[in-house]
């Protein structure tokens, strides 16, 4: 039985950020499996994810406020903010792996680029789950707390 290969069109990057993360993970997985993408296609894929991540990080407000305490909300704020810093560093590392492929384009280097791309994709997916959870927690925090009417509570 042949090893299943991911179905991905490297030339058709989605515009939706979450779909783009999935697409890049599939592209990266295909690199690990030595799919024969052109170097130009690989450069474009890396440039696409890089531009999207930088746009996401730049457009996301820093959530660091009242970080004291050990509740889930403060934990999520710290993690999301740290991710935004880490992703810039991670993109530098992704570009470094790409430069290795550009200097010496062989299977092992493409696989290393693909493995790092998979790691980045997995991290981005976890980050997006944390952002959704943070958003839900912030929404809960901003809802007014229901109060009892003392006149109605006559026992």
Tens digit of each residue's pLDDT (9 = 90 or more) over 9-49: 999 999 999 999 999 999 999 999 999 999 999 999 999 99
Tens digit of each residue's pLDDT (9 = 90 or more) over 105-137: 999 999 999 999 999 999 999 999 999 998 888
Helix pair angle (17-32, 107-142), 10° resolution: 160
How far is the C-alpha of 11 from the C-alpha of 81, rounded, in Å? 32
3-state helix, strand, coil in the chain (%, to 5): 70, 0, 30
The secondary structure of residue 144, as a DSSP letter, is P
pTM exceeds 0.85: no
Residue written as token pair 């991540």:
53
């Amino acid at each position: 039985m042949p090893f299943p290969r991911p179905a991905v069109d490297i030339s058709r990057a989605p515009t939706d950020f979450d779909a783009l993360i999935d697409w890049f993970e599939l592209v990266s997985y295909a690199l690990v499996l030595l799919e024969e993408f052109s170097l130009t296609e690989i450069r474009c894929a890396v440039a696409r994810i890089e531009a999207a991540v930088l746009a996401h990080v730049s457009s996301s407000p820093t959530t660091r406020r009242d970080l004291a305490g050990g509740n889930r909300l403060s934990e999520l704020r710290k993690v999301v903010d740290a991710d935004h810093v880490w992703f810039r560093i991670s993109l530098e590392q992704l570009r470094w792996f790409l430069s290795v492929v550009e200097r010496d384009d062989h299977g092992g280097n493409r696989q290393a680029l693909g493995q790092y791309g998979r790691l980045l994709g997995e991290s981005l997916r976890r980050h997006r789950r944390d952002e959704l959870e943070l958003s839900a927690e912030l929404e809960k925090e901003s809802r007014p707390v229901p109060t009892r009417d003392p006149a109605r509570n006559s026992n």
